[in-house]
Structure 1
Amino acid sequence: MMPTLRHLNGLGLRALTNGALRRLASTVIVLSVAACAPTSEMLYQTDWRHGLNSDLSVQANPGDLSIVPDRGSIKEYALKAKIRRSDDFSQVANGTPRAEVVFPSSVRFAQGETYGIRWSTMLPLGTQFDNKQFVIVTQIHQSTRYGSPPLALSIQGTQYGIALRGGEQHDKASATQWICCADADVGRWVEWELRYRPDERGERSITDLYRDGKLVFRATGARNAYPGDQKAYLKLGLYKPDWLRKPTETSDMSMLYGPVTVTKQ
């Protein structure tokens, strides 16, 4: 229990001046507010130092997801995702080019709840950019239907792109934005943070994306969940759905992922 002024007077502190009492009362109020401040619940955390956790699901060809040392960085270890257009993806989910990890059941996004996701990415030196096709590098995927995910962060050309979908129209984005410039991020770590509250109607939705601490995307009132979906999930890695059937400018792609934390606020 926080002390009150009456308690303090009872301890023989009657000599305090009125000004001192007011300052002390302010301190008590501040401490009381801090004690009642909401805390975040940690849903998942990994820094990859113990390899690919057994609770992660893999959607990739053998060897396309690996843990590599990150020499010269405080991150120490990273998840490396790589795909090659010439490879056979017939045994991978949906038979499409991808190398992704799916986070476990502890990481599910229920509508009306607010979540925080922190992760980092690095494009390796020598990365080639494809102006003709996008590649998804991070996504929140729906659990209730097929089609485009409610949230996707992608790269096309030298720009990042973010797209939201929700409600009944999975084929039409509710909000999109290009984010410059992916080519400036080659060879360096980029720190991402997403504040996300899914809402199929968009009335209470939150989608705030930060890049290196700077807000680069905010969608207010945008639908970012599909009807009835209470178990959307997180995927990290590369997904290039049109690679085998449409013109492209690249034959391979890779990306590094640093530590990941997911919290419920």
Structure 2
Amino acid sequence: MNGRFVFRWIAIGIFGFLFNVVNAQDMSITWSDPQMTALASTYDKLFSTTWSGGIDAGIGVQANAGDIVVVDDPVMAGRKAIRVQMSKSENFSKIANGVPRAELIFPKAVRFSQGPDYLLRWSTLIPAGFKFDAKQAVIVTQVHQGEWTGGPTIALALQGNRYAISERGGANTTTVSAGKWLCCADADQGKWVNWALRYVADDSGHHASTQLWKDGHSVFASQGTPNAYIGVQDAYLKMGLYKAGWNTSPSDVSEVTLFFGPVSVSKK
């Protein structure tokens, strides 16, 4: 589809149609837009981790034992990363609402209120030999809408060999208000991908802004569209794997593994 595309989120939560590190884990992104380099330097850091000391205190874990672990970086020697993996055969009944997931919930220092300008940076690695699921999505990063139920306010997912970015907000949160397919996840196997999200939340849409960069290149931008649930001032960051329809809908895969590198959240 051309231009901004709108798609519905099925009730179970899947997509409807469809700091002291360098090199691969360097949080200093080389921006394709020189103005962004200057802008990024104006934010004040709220939180950062390189996983070198394990999973930081205050980060919540929603996963079965062994599904989220700190490991040696599979690409860059001497560094640490988070390996997240889960199998369809696992029992998820005691994890959150029983939906297949292995996720980290970032601490209260990383809460998104409406109005401030936030800059999130993180990295993902799709391992070599990764089997892509064309039948249903797996969410890998999301801004969750506080205590409200429903789909995530911002979600980055994988479906087939593509990424998908979506946002929702305002009074109608059953429909994704803006989104885009991003090519090509299969070309990223075996290498780190550095993401950056600039997020200004506004449930009215008047001052809302959502911008996503992949390895310093702008891949999605939405302004003037509601990107927060009504009245929510405590949205939070989650990373990992969330595959809501795995046990109820057709899927091409029986297990999923993804790696996460350093995470940084700043505000101004």
TM-score by length of 2: 0.83
Match of 1:50 in 2: 53
RMSD over aligned Cα atoms: 1.4
Counterpart residue type for residue 101 of structure 1: L
Aligned partners of 1:38, 1:162: CA distance in 2, in Å? 25
On the 8 A contact 2:81/2:261 being kept in 1, the answer is: yes
On the 8 A contact 1:78/1:257 being kept in 2, the answer is: yes
Which of 141, 146, 149 aligns to 2:149? It is 146
**1:247 corresponds to 2:223:** no
Query: 1:74-89, aligned counterparts within 5 Å?
Result: 76-89=79-92
On the 8 A contact 1:75/1:259 being kept in 2, the answer is: no
On the 8 A contact 2:75/2:191 being kept in 1, the answer is: no
Which of 176, 180, 184 aligns to 1:181? It is 184
Structure 1 unmatched ranges of 5 or more: 1-36
Say which SS state the counterpart of residue 119 (structure 1) adopts: strand
Structure 1 stretch displaced more, 143-152 or 57-66: 143-152
Which of 101, 106, 116 aligns to 1:103? It is 106
Name which one, 1 or 2, has greater alpha-carbon Rg: 1
Deviation at 1:42, TM superposition (A): 1.1
CA-to-aligned-CA distance 1:141-189 (integer Å, 9 cap, x gap)? 0014101011000000000001100011111011010000010111000
Match of 2:137 in 1: 134
Say which SS state the counterpart of residue 94 (structure 1) adopts: coil
Structure 2 unmatched ranges of 5 or more: 1-39
Say which SS state the counterpart of residue 259 (structure 1) adopts: strand
Classify 1:224/1:154 alpha carbon distance in 2 versus 1 (closer, same or farther; 3 Å).
same
Match of 2:10 in 1: none
Counterpart residue type for residue 120 of structure 2: I
Q: Between Structure 1 and Structure 2, which shows a larger proportion of helix residues?
A: 1
Match of 2:34 in 1: none
On the 8 A contact 1:61/1:99 being kept in 2, the answer is: yes
Q: Which runs of 4+ in 1 moved over 6 A?
A: none
TM-score by length of 1: 0.84
Match of 2:122 in 1: 119
CA-to-aligned-CA distance 1:62-113 (integer Å, 9 cap, x gap)? 0000000015517700011111001100110110111100000010001011
On the 8 A contact 2:59/2:106 being kept in 1, the answer is: yes
Aligned partners of 1:72, 1:176: CA distance in 2, in Å? 31
Classify 1:71/1:180 alpha carbon distance in 2 versus 1 (closer, same or farther; 3 Å).
closer
Classify 1:75/1:219 alpha carbon distance in 2 versus 1 (closer, same or farther; 3 Å).
farther
What percent of counterpart residues are identical? 47
